[in-house]
A and B are shown apart, each in its own frame.
Chain A
Amino acid sequence: MNSTDLIALLPYLTLAATSIVVMLAIAFYRNHKLTVFLTLAGFVFSAASMGYASGVLPREVTSLFIIDRYAFFYLGLVLLAGFVVAAISFSYLEKHPGHSEEFYLLLLFATLGCTVLAAATHFASFFLGIELLSVSLYALAAYLRHSNKSIEAGVKYLILAAVSSAFILFGMALVYAEAGSMSFSVIASRAAGPEVHHLPFLAGIVMIIVGLGFKLAVVPFHLWTPDVYEGAPAPVTALIATMSKGAVFALVLRYFTRIDIHQHASLLAVITVIAVLSMFAGNFLALLQTNVKRVLAYSSISHLGYLLVTVLASGVLAQAAAAFYLTAYFITTLGAFGVVTMLSDGTRDADSMDDYRGLVWKRPWVAGVFTAMLFSLAGIPLTAGFVGKFYVVAAGVGSALWMVIVVLAINSVIGLFYYLRIIVVLFTRTGDESPALQRTSRSGSLVLAVLTILLVLLGTYPGPLLDIIKETVLF
């Protein structure tokens, strides 16, 4: 470890330092505003230090991390998500009784865990990232101690995430026993050899996939998703939906591309089944929901199914499609849960359809943002989701994955039903249409406005982002 290594690690160190600063600040002077400010500043500094650190890339720091442009792209996304969640949480937590400050501490830890995942190149750092993320999320999901639902969500997540961690750990042990190394690059090279057919090796890989599938909430490992999404506080749901999935996906994509899963027919078949099931199950179950948070939960399952198509497709286009789709998904999901957060009050989250009835006539801007986000989830033009869907389909067609792509197309149509159903509710005439008096928080509105602008910008002029993706993500 020398000074260049430290420079490469700067964004990570900044995040870690911020969590310590925030912890100390809470210990000495408990103030919600100050904590939020420090947290946001930490995210900004971390992002800024990426610019400085990018000069020394790519760099392998110890045997645990590979700090490259690929990691930095997803690092940027994770930081964006962290920033947005912190910003929308402020007014949300103000409405709730109890201390709010530790929330940001946990948020910083979770973010750190995600950034570690995006750069992990070793079982140790991989597991470190997963646990850093999961443990923070247990506490975050149960953060509203006065709410039974929140505690239920926390406990549920705790038990299931712990089980999935156990799977991953056992899988690692088996793989280590066969491969004799915990470094991904060594394992990847072994995977090309005859060891791949040894039972312990295969079993280990399968167990790791089970654990990752749980984190990504893909079918059949999705059962926790709706309950946790529903019960957890809205900003935390945003966090689970975006950051934790995005970081795990970045890791999956990196190594599946590296070992070239097209060499492994069985692995390919498994991923295909998971993708197809996720699309169908996510969309069909979403049709049955009446709770907005649950609808979004199932919709996120199907979106991960779409995203897995990019893992199945090969080539440069697929990697670019994954990065673009994930960016669009981040912005859209953050925006949608941002709206849910803004409309929630101190007693319950705004998750019933009634909270949204005729909203467009009462609070046109918030409803407008929500409509834009829903259209983006459905993949309608002018939004980032449209270009993302286009890109994913293009990647699939380019690799001639006809069956999966047709499934994707069918599912987009099914998806329309429930997105439009929410939009119809937003536009219903209720009779009582006086503008609501409830004040919207300034920071939250600002963040939502920026997200919406980004959404439209990516939907109409995606060129600059595609250039960034080309520079960073492609191997």
Chain B
Amino acid sequence: MILLWLIIIPLIGGLAAWAVDRKDSAAARWISLAALALDAIVLALFWSDSSTRFDLSRGAWLVELNRPWIPQLGISFHLAMDGLSLVLVALTLFLGIISVVCSWTEIRERAGFFHLNLLWILAGILGVFLSLDLFLFYFFWELMLVPMYFLISIWGHENRVYASLKFFIFTQAGGLLMLLSILALYFFHGKETGIYTFDYALLLGTKLPPFAAFWIMLGFLIAFIVKLPVVPFHPWLPDAHTEAPTAGSVILAGLLLKTGAYGLLRFVLPLFPDAVAQVSQTMLVLSVIGIIYGAVLAFGQSELKRLVAYTSISHMGFVLLGIFAGSRIALSGAVMQIVAHGVSTGALFIIVGMIQERIHTRDMGQMGGFWSAVPRLSGIGLVFALASLGLPGFGNFVAEFMVLLGSYGMHPAITVLAASGLVLSAIYSLWIVQQVFHGEKKEGLHLADLTMRETSMMAAMIIVIFWIGMFPRPLLSTAYPALLSPGHGQAQEQPVGATGGEHEQH
């Protein structure tokens, strides 16, 4: 039942926030915060419990909920959590709380409806991370789009209507391809076994003719790499990230992109191990293109928020590389990158949001010399710029290092090219620092330094990014066994790198 509660609490919290907004918009914020905090407590209790009650290392489901939903079609309400979902759910709740806190003063209009949308997106994302029925997964997959669409189109910046439409249509188109694939899989499995079901556990290991497997896999793949996004499916991202309100950007970069990566890990690799082998070379090339393309374009931006958006494309390239490199270390690195990028890019978007709240522009040409004026903001900005460039000590370093280490063995050329992304990221990160924090202070800029609320929010993010950078093991040992579960045959068969054995000790 805990799984159901995890999803229901934000849904109810959102409705409550909306309901009280007529009287008091501060109450709406507190209710949202309380709902997410409650959710986080539920999860924390479960996590601390699970280490004793469950055996994480077996990679089995820690907890499962399976009820018939539409039995006529073989659809069940099947939720389950393993180590991978656990990590992602924790990330969702953490960034959820952060995004409520960071919109505390930014969103003044219709705060109740804003928080309704915010919490419903989070509920949808939680559903995506927990669903084990393909119909249910698709249901949540689509469900999280609608409130996100509202978030961008109502509270976004100047060009919000265009950006939100583009976002919605790109992801919908991908989603429909996935729907076709889900149904094709359903019928293939039904014809073969006589059991018509959308249940993940049963569909796993469906024998598909290679031709069909390839096309069905492609439907899933495209849906997920549009979301990730992989160049050339990325055009929605810079617009959506730039135009969204801060909380929207945080959730987009920190969580929505990750649902794509999660889909690849959870569905594409285990369901179609053979078909994946046919495309993995292409995916590796695309990942390198993404890494370099994102970084180069980031450097070309004059608008700070757009710059951060392009860095996402670059960083998500590492995730794609890690997933398709075919080694366990790279796979763990991809999971690590999911978390580290979620926190560090989320933080950068929040910093952009805080700057915009103060000087009402995102144009870097009008910034400069913040260091003397707002030392706390600038210091924190520097920290996350460094995290983004992959300085050792931060989670991003561990993640990118693991991905490169894991893929070098089999794909040296690709890895060398991907490693150049690290150099490029140093360029754009330091560019941000120079343009915004150093240099001459512009005339007529009046800034206030961070408030207590902002400081503590950023402090929490710094702690997390350092924690996973310095001591990644708890995170890895939680997620890692899930990556090795029976479905992930592809990763299992590959040779193990030098340090891979470390994890087996658990």
Contact = CB atoms under 8 A, between A and B. Distances in A.
A380 B142 contact: yes
Interface of A: 361, 375, 380-382, 386, 390, 393-394, 397-398, 405-406, 409, 412-413, 416-417, 420, 424, 427, 429, 461-463, 466-467, 470
Closest 6 CB pairs of A and B: A397-B183, A409-B176, A466-B72, A381-B142, A381-B143, A413-B173
Contact of B168 (A397, A412, A420): A420
Given A416-B172, A417-B165, A394 B186 contact: yes
A397 B187 CA distance: 8
A427 B150 contact: yes
Contact of B161 (A361, A386, A424, A470): A424
Given A381-B142, A412-B176, A394 B183 contact: yes
* Most B CB within 10 A of own CB, among A386, A405, A409, A417: A409
Contact of B180 (A361, A380, A406, A463): A406
B142 A470 contact: no
B139 A381 contact: yes
B498 interface: no
B70 A416 contact: no
A426 to B, nearest CB: 11
Contact of B142 (A386, A405, A424, A429): A386
Contacts of B72: 463, 466-467, 470
B73 interface: yes
Given A412-B172, A416-B172, A405 B180 contact: yes
Nearest to B109: A429
Given A394-B73, A397-B187, A416 B177 contact: no
A390 B161 CA distance: 28
Majority secondary structure of chain B interface residues (helix, strand, loop or mixed): helix
Contacts of B150: 427
B383 to A, nearest CB: 37
Nearest to A421: B165
A413 B179 CA distance: 13
B153 A427 contact: yes
Interface string B185-198: 01100000000000
B423 interface: no
Contacts of B165: 417, 420, 424
A406 B177 CA distance: 8
A417 B161 CA distance: 11
Interface string B164-175: 110011001100
B154 A427 contact: yes
B409 interface: no
A424 B150 CA distance: 9
Contacts of A405: 180
Contacts of B143: 380-382
Interface string B119-134: 0000000000000000
B71 interface: yes
Nearest to B185: A397
Contacts of B179: 390, 393, 409
Contacts of A461: 69-70
21 contacts: A381-B143, A386-B142, A393-B183, A398-B183, A398-B187, A406-B180, A409-B173, A412-B176, A413-B172, A416-B169, A417-B165, A417-B169, A420-B149, A420-B168, A424-B165, A429-B154, A461-B70, A463-B69, A463-B71, A463-B72, A466-B70
